[in-house]
Amino acid sequence: MARITTAGILSAAVLSGGIWAHRHATASAPPPLPTNSSEAFDYLRSVRFIAVDVFVDSGTIPLAAYQFEFSAPGGGASIVDIEGGESAAFTSPPYYDPEALMQGRIIVGAFNTGDELPSGKTRVARMHLRVEGEPVAEFSVQLTVAGNVNGDQIDASASVARAVSES
């Protein structure tokens, strides 16, 4: 039977804090890591992962391209991964700057000039976030541009919602 030790808990907290350390690398004074097992357990309990879906609604016009800015303005959330959407045109992960991950703000975009383009409201991306503390961070999406298969800008809107478990 494995024994849980304070050193083991602190190691887990430090490993878990690897993302935390990268996210806070530019911050003026990051909070200290836990110094005892009780603090380490509290720290690990306060960290969780959630998924947030981003939708674009293009109305009746087939959506061929989009770009949006996603942010978690309330703090306490880091973007750790981005996956594609639900329609065949956008199942591949969208384009984004990997250096912007972990910052809480990222610009994301994709395009597809195929024949099976979605119209109406469709999930174009799923954002995976690491959240610390309570309450759950707020999320914001601002659609920068949306376009049709001819490259023309179209009227569209974007929205976000907590992802629903598919189990």
Place of tokens 């674009």: 56
Domain assignment of residue 136, yes or no: yes
Domain assignment of residue 156, yes or no: yes
pLDDT at residue 133 in the model:
73
Total domains, the chain: 1
**CB within 8 Å of 89: residues ≥ 6 apart:** 63, 64, 112, 114, 116, 117, 118
Domain assignment of residue 64, yes or no: yes
Domain assignment of residue 12, yes or no: no
Domain assignment of residue 10, yes or no: no
pLDDT, one tens digit per residue, over 16-58 is 343 333 333 333 344 566 676 666 656 566 788 889 999 999 9
Domain that includes residue 143, residue range? 47-162
Q: What is the pTM of this model?
A: 0.72
pLDDT at residue 136 in the model:
63
Mean pLDDT in order along the chain per 10 residues (167 residues): 35 36 39 65 71 97 97 80 95 91 86 94 94 75 96 97 75
CATH of the domain at 121: 2.60.40.680
Domain assignment of residue 62, yes or no: yes
Domain assignment of residue 6, yes or no: no
